[in-house]
Chains A and B, each alone.
Chain A
Amino acid sequence: MLFNSYTFIFFFLPVTFVIYFYLNKKRLTEASKAFLVLSSLFFYSWWNIVYLPLILISILFNYSLGREFSKHSQKKRNYSPKVLLSIGIVFNLALLGYFKYADFFIENFNFISTSEVSLLHLALPLAISFYTFQQIAYLVDSYRGETHEYDFLNYTVFVTFFPQLIAGPIVHHSEMMPQFAQLKNKVLQYHNIAAGIFIFVIGLFKKVVIADSFAIWATQGFDFERSLTMLEGWMTSFSYTFQLYFDFSGYTDMAIGAALLFNIRLPINFDSPYKATDIQDFWRRWHITLSRFLKEYIYIPLGGNRKSEIQTYSNLFITFLLGGIWHGAGWTFVVWGALHGLALVIHRAWKKLGLHMPTLLAWFITFNFINIAWVFFRATSFDSAIKVLHAMFSMDGDLFSKSKQFPHMLHYTHPLSEYVSINMVNYMFILLLIGFVLSLYAKNAHILRDRFMQMKQIPFFWAIAIGILFGISLIVIASNPSSEFLYFNF
């Protein structure tokens, strides 16, 4: 079920909300939790019920292993905790590897060995990358003795809680479990509901109005990368850069908003990432919960910056290479991860040298690096990425060529074209300008949320504005009812 669907907004969310708090009001707290789990599994199965057993097996396995660790700490068992942890991590990675990377490995094996092993053509189970990471973190912390005695229901709510289940934020048990246990969170709290609606509407608007508008140019640009002029190449890459940000941060805002309705605070995942003035700063602002996971469970166990400088560079590079591979099974993701790893290494070396750069120049370099690296992230093949980059940097075409074919084609794919006649190039210029202004100058959603939550009295204008944004978003959904979120693919 998509957050940006009528089914979710008009049926699933209100029904789950009402029944959950009704059960809590009747002091049936365990029943309310069980109901939340069932609702979340229903939400998950809406796409394809075939994946349901997989997530249930994964939960059961990881929970049982976590319990073994806690028994071990009480000296009830004689298993080696390291062996148990290794089994756990291998199980999780094997599950992920089988579904996500099997064909990638077979293709490359066939290519190198000229053999003809058939591809498996497995469909990627929804959310597998997210719930696998979440549970690996749980296992590692259980091994370290940092988890408490959680019961099965609590653990299942932690993994399956529908706002964060599909595409994060990647939550940590230590920040979620206590919230589900707190009694005050089982009571209707209007200030949380108001803030939840506020942030949910901002996220919905970001997704259905802004991101989906950029998607039209980005999709067409990458599909027709062979015929792009320089201008179209840049517009294509910028469009994707903004599409990805508004899509993913919009999704996260909706997740945070939906969770707040249930008095649960999810961690922030974005902090105006395109304002970053260096690559390290970017990763502190972009997909923050993934960066946190990579740091705590890959970079630090590898040695972090505790060893030699060379070793630190190597750890940084490996961490981001793995981060790239986590996003998808393809060489483009490997290249994307490697580029970011390399950029972090260069940034660290630059800092070590004590060199400085004017802020504006630093922002310009950082933003353009991110923009160019996204081309690899988005392209369906390495060759396709090169073609877009070639268009962006080629001096053999006209910069402002009146390339008729591409805007003409775009015109017919744009939903608005059915209602009004639009000049696609001018339209995209305006849209990109809005994208830059919003991502560089506007306050981001979590700042607005915090400000909103601190207010005792809300200005009337805010209610009018949010109501209108909500209404407009609902109308726009009608024009594109099946627009999926980009991070569902990862």
Chain B
Amino acid sequence: MNKKSFIFIVLGIAFLVFSILPISNYITDPSRILHHDYKMRYLKFHPHKLFLKVEYLLDNKEKYDTLVYGSSRGGFIDVSRISKGAYNMSHGFGTVTTYLHSLKVLLENGVKVENVWIGINDFDIWKDHTDNLHRLINKNSIIGNAPMYSYWLFRLIPESIKILTEKRELIETQEVTYPMERIPRARKQEHIVKKQSKRQIPAATLGYTGKFRVKEAVEEVAQIKKLCEAYHINLTVFMYPIYYKTYLSYDQEKIEKFKRELVKVTGFYDFYDLGDISLDQKNWFEGSHFIPSIGDYMIKSIQDNKYFVTTKNIDKRIEETRLLVKNMPFLEDGGIYTLDKHTDAKLENKKIIFDIKDQKFTFIKNEDFNLKYKRSYVEAVVTRNDPLIILNKTKSSTKQSLLSLSIASTQETFFQLYYKESESAQYSEASRYNILLTKGINHMNIIIPSRYINQGLRVDIARKLGVYKIEQLRLYEID
């Protein structure tokens, strides 16, 4: 064969081999996007609900009068209590970005709606979906659809391989055509949850990084409002309730800022606080999703115009939420969990049992770092990989203790706590609590069962070499 033929044969064979990828992706299509198929799904694989719900509504342009947008939390809301013609548009990790994008597509393509409800999450102000929008449909442009098709065709999709190797079959589903089908099942689960009074539910931090997009999220709500006005649609905005540990682990100053900015754009129903819903474990499947009766309560409250926040009462509302934080006891569930710095105020008059800045408290320190005592802080100069201290002399007489931490770091790394259940046990990777330190000041409070303190808590300052400014590393006895 000559070299010209070689070129064409190589490229031809490569093309044939490579085409296995898009062909198998197209045939299997676990997300059902490529087949625009909202009536079938594979067992164990989630179809792309947002995409398929948009497709379904485009095929049924006048079937519904109300769209209830939300994240997966919204999946537990019985929207039939709002209106018989209400459709639940909830989708996993839905944010105002995805609501805006899909609502635009629907309205621009002739879908008739009278009411739009949008449920806002705390993660709307840090989860940025703007880079993923190319995966969603853009009905108005062939070129606009190209990135979506290339994304779903030219990826190695694990589910596609499993479908082929395990010969999975498609089954009929109603989750798009009748999203309410899950509500009866969820209500049954709710009864089970209510009987489990002493569950340990950890916080669901859902990709929380401490980087925020408050302005962008508010701007997206403003665009939704503008869109609704242009199409003469009634807009109802509400914020979901949140489980208390999840609430406490976030920077509430940012959430407050978001609420203050949001209210300038639109009034909204605010269920996001440390009230009864948040504190009662029975209301939560886990740290993120509430049970359906909470959804019922929210709808009823909105219909009765309760919890409505406007520019006139926002200050009062914020004061109320702050008061709830201030008055909340440190709840005990047997594990370690993180609170944001807003809980500092509750530490007044609490007994200090350890303070790294006070040299009267002794501890074991290894050779991997040096501590330099400055006037208002302690500098940890980490020269090797395992800078650790063991609080061997620190004892707590209360059931729980609180570690108040403020560290300035120049890099992203982990602050770690190693704990033991008994004195003879070894510190191990399995008994470790990780805290992400980001660039800048990291200020937080950590609830620790005192039995861990009394067995000698090990504190690993950082996982990377460098200089860390420890402004606070103090343990309190708490009730």
A457 near B165: Cβ-Cβ < 8 Å: no
Whether B154 is near chain A, meaning CB under 8 Å from some CB there, is yes
A220 → B minimal CB distance (Å):
14
Task: Please measure, in the bound complex, the distance between the C-alpha atom of A191 and the C-alpha atom of B384, giving whole angstroms.
Answer: 55
Task: Please measure, in the bound complex, the distance between the C-alpha atom of A470 and the C-alpha atom of B16, giving whole angstroms.
Answer: 10
A121 to chain B: closest residue by CB: B410
Contacts of A190 in B (CB 8 A): 2-4, 7
B20 near A475: Cβ-Cβ < 8 Å: yes
Contacts of A145 in B (CB 8 A): none
Task: Please measure, in the bound complex, the distance between the C-alpha atom of A466 and the C-alpha atom of B161, giving whole angstroms.
Answer: 25
Whether B187 is near chain A, meaning CB under 8 Å from some CB there, is no
Contacts of B161 in A (CB 8 A): 418-419
Whether A350 is near chain B, meaning CB under 8 Å from some CB there, is no
Contacts of A198 in B (CB 8 A): 6, 10
B465 to chain A: closest residue by CB: A381
Whether A362 is near chain B, meaning CB under 8 Å from some CB there, is no
Task: Please measure, in the bound complex, the distance between the C-alpha atom of A225 and the C-alpha atom of B463, giving whole angstroms.
Answer: 12
Question: Among residues 67 to 113 in chain A, which have CB atoms less than 8 Å away from a CB atom of chain B?
Answer: 110-111
Contact of B14 among A110, A381, A471 (CB under 8 A): A471
Whether A467 is near chain B, meaning CB under 8 Å from some CB there, is yes
Contacts of B467 in A (CB 8 A): 110, 116
B7 near A467: Cβ-Cβ < 8 Å: no
Whether B158 is near chain A, meaning CB under 8 Å from some CB there, is yes
B429 near A194: Cβ-Cβ < 8 Å: no
Question: Among residues 430 to 479 in chain B, which have CB atoms less than 8 Å away from a CB atom of chain A?
Answer: 464-465, 467
A463 near B9: Cβ-Cβ < 8 Å: yes
User: B12, B14, B161, B162: which has the most chain A beta carbons within 10 Å?
Assistant: B14
Whether A34 is near chain B, meaning CB under 8 Å from some CB there, is no
B20 to chain A: closest residue by CB: A475
B21 near A194: Cβ-Cβ < 8 Å: no
Whether B368 is near chain A, meaning CB under 8 Å from some CB there, is yes
Contacts of A277 in B (CB 8 A): none
Question: Among residues 188 to 215 in chain A, which have CB atoms less than 8 Å away from a CB atom of chain B?
Answer: 190-191, 193-195, 197-198, 201
Task: Please measure, in the bound complex, the distance between the C-alpha atom of A227 and the C-alpha atom of B464, giving whole angstroms.
Answer: 17
Contacts of A460 in B (CB 8 A): 1, 9
Whether B233 is near chain A, meaning CB under 8 Å from some CB there, is no
Task: Please measure, in the bound complex, the distance between the C-alpha atom of A41 and the C-alpha atom of B369, giving whole angstroms.
Answer: 45
Given A381-B465, A419-B158, the answer on whether A467 and B13 have CB atoms closer than 8 Å is yes
Contact of A470 among B13, B20, B155, B386 (CB under 8 A): B13
B14 to chain A: closest residue by CB: A470
Contact of B385 among A111, A381, A418 (CB under 8 A): A381
B7 near A474: Cβ-Cβ < 8 Å: no
A193 near B7: Cβ-Cβ < 8 Å: yes
Task: Please measure, in the bound complex, the distance between the C-alpha atom of A415 and the C-alpha atom of B372, giving whole angstroms.
Answer: 45
Contact of A475 among B2, B3, B10, B21 (CB under 8 A): B21
Per-position binary interface string of chain B over residues 2-41, scored 1 when its CB falls under 8 Å from any chain A CB and 0 otherwise: 1111110111111111101100000000000000000000
A459 to chain B: closest residue by CB: B1
Contacts of B2 in A (CB 8 A): 190, 456-458
Whether B146 is near chain A, meaning CB under 8 Å from some CB there, is no
Which interface class (under 10, 10 to 19, 20 to 34, 35 or more) fits B?
35 or more
Per-position binary interface string of chain A over residues 107-142, scored 1 when its CB falls under 8 Å from any chain B CB and 0 otherwise: 000110010100101000000000000000000000
Per-position binary interface string of chain B over residues 362-390, scored 1 when its CB falls under 8 Å from any chain A CB and 0 otherwise: 00000010001000000001011110000
Given A457-B1, A475-B20, A479-B156, the answer on whether A470 and B10 have CB atoms closer than 8 Å is yes
Contacts of B385 in A (CB 8 A): 225-226, 381, 383-384, 387
Contact of A462 among B6, B12, B156, B368 (CB under 8 A): B6
Contacts of A110 in B (CB 8 A): 467
B21 near A463: Cβ-Cβ < 8 Å: no
Whether A468 is near chain B, meaning CB under 8 Å from some CB there, is yes
B155 to chain A: closest residue by CB: A478
B469 to chain A: closest residue by CB: A116
Contacts of A6 in B (CB 8 A): 154
A467 near B14: Cβ-Cβ < 8 Å: yes
B1 near A458: Cβ-Cβ < 8 Å: yes
A232 → B minimal CB distance (Å):
15
Whether A437 is near chain B, meaning CB under 8 Å from some CB there, is no
Per-position binary interface string of chain B over residues 246-276, scored 1 when its CB falls under 8 Å from any chain A CB and 0 otherwise: 0000000000000000000000000000000
B15 to chain A: closest residue by CB: A471
A197 near B7: Cβ-Cβ < 8 Å: yes
B466 to chain A: closest residue by CB: A107
B6 near A194: Cβ-Cβ < 8 Å: yes
B1 near A463: Cβ-Cβ < 8 Å: yes
B3 near A419: Cβ-Cβ < 8 Å: no
B17 near A478: Cβ-Cβ < 8 Å: no
Contacts of B10 in A (CB 8 A): 197-198, 201, 463, 466-467, 470
A375 → B minimal CB distance (Å):
14
Contacts of A226 in B (CB 8 A): 385-386
B372 to chain A: closest residue by CB: A114
Task: Please measure, in the bound complex, the distance between the C-alpha atom of A415 and the C-alpha atom of B157, giving whole angstroms.
Answer: 11
A95 → B minimal CB distance (Å):
24
Whether A355 is near chain B, meaning CB under 8 Å from some CB there, is no
B24 → A minimal CB distance (Å):
10
Contacts of A119 in B (CB 8 A): 410
A464 near B13: Cβ-Cβ < 8 Å: yes
B386 near A418: Cβ-Cβ < 8 Å: no
A481 → B minimal CB distance (Å):
8
B6 near A463: Cβ-Cβ < 8 Å: yes
Contacts of B20 in A (CB 8 A): 471, 475
Whether A182 is near chain B, meaning CB under 8 Å from some CB there, is no
Task: Please measure, in the bound complex, the distance between the C-alpha atom of A187 and the C-alpha atom of B11, giving whole angstroms.
Answer: 21
Whether A15 is near chain B, meaning CB under 8 Å from some CB there, is no
Whether A438 is near chain B, meaning CB under 8 Å from some CB there, is no
A103 to chain B: closest residue by CB: B410
Whether A349 is near chain B, meaning CB under 8 Å from some CB there, is no
B410 near A458: Cβ-Cβ < 8 Å: no
Whether A405 is near chain B, meaning CB under 8 Å from some CB there, is yes
Contacts of B464 in A (CB 8 A): 380-381
B13 near A468: Cβ-Cβ < 8 Å: yes
Whether A472 is near chain B, meaning CB under 8 Å from some CB there, is yes
Contact of B18 among A114, A227, A475 (CB under 8 A): A475
Task: Please measure, in the bound complex, the distance between the C-alpha atom of A457 and the C-alpha atom of B5, giving whole angstroms.
Answer: 10
A385 → B minimal CB distance (Å):
10
B12 near A467: Cβ-Cβ < 8 Å: yes
A397 → B minimal CB distance (Å):
15
Question: Among residues 266 to 308 in chain B, which have CB atoms less than 8 Å away from a CB atom of chain A?
Answer: none
Contacts of B12 in A (CB 8 A): 467
B17 near A470: Cβ-Cβ < 8 Å: yes
Contacts of B156 in A (CB 8 A): 415, 475-476, 478-479
Contacts of A191 in B (CB 8 A): 3
Task: Please measure, in the bound complex, the distance between the C-alpha atom of A126 and the C-alpha atom of B21, giving whole angstroms.
Answer: 32
Task: Please measure, in the bound complex, the distance between the C-alpha atom of A488 and the C-alpha atom of B106, giving whole angstroms.
Answer: 45
Per-position binary interface string of chain A over residues 363-384, scored 1 when its CB falls under 8 Å from any chain B CB and 0 otherwise: 0000000000000000011011
B146 → A minimal CB distance (Å):
12
A475 to chain B: closest residue by CB: B21
Contacts of B13 in A (CB 8 A): 463-464, 467-468, 470-471
Per-position binary interface string of chain B over residues 341-380, scored 1 when its CB falls under 8 Å from any chain A CB and 0 otherwise: 0000000000000000000000000001000100000000
Task: Please measure, in the bound complex, the distance between the C-alpha atom of A232 and the C-alpha atom of B472, giving whole angstroms.
Answer: 39
B16 near A471: Cβ-Cβ < 8 Å: yes
Question: Among residues 133 to 171 in chain B, which have CB atoms less than 8 Å away from a CB atom of chain A?
Answer: 154-156, 158, 161-162, 165
B7 → A minimal CB distance (Å):
5
User: B1, B429, B464, B467: which has the most chain A beta carbons within 10 Å?
Assistant: B1
Contacts of A457 in B (CB 8 A): 1-2
Contacts of A476 in B (CB 8 A): 156
Residue contacts A-B, CB under 8 angstroms, 25 given: A110-B467, A119-B410, A194-B3, A197-B7, A197-B10, A226-B385, A380-B464, A381-B384, A381-B385, A383-B465, A387-B385, A415-B156, A419-B165, A458-B2, A458-B3, A463-B1, A463-B10, A467-B16, A468-B13, A470-B10, A470-B17, A474-B14, A475-B18, A475-B21, A476-B156
| 4 closest residue pairs by CB, A with B | A471-B17, A467-B13, A470-B14, A418-B158
Q: A6-B154, A418-B158, A478-B154 are in contact. List 5 more A-B contacts (CB 8 A).
A: A190-B4, A462-B6, A464-B9, A467-B9, A467-B12
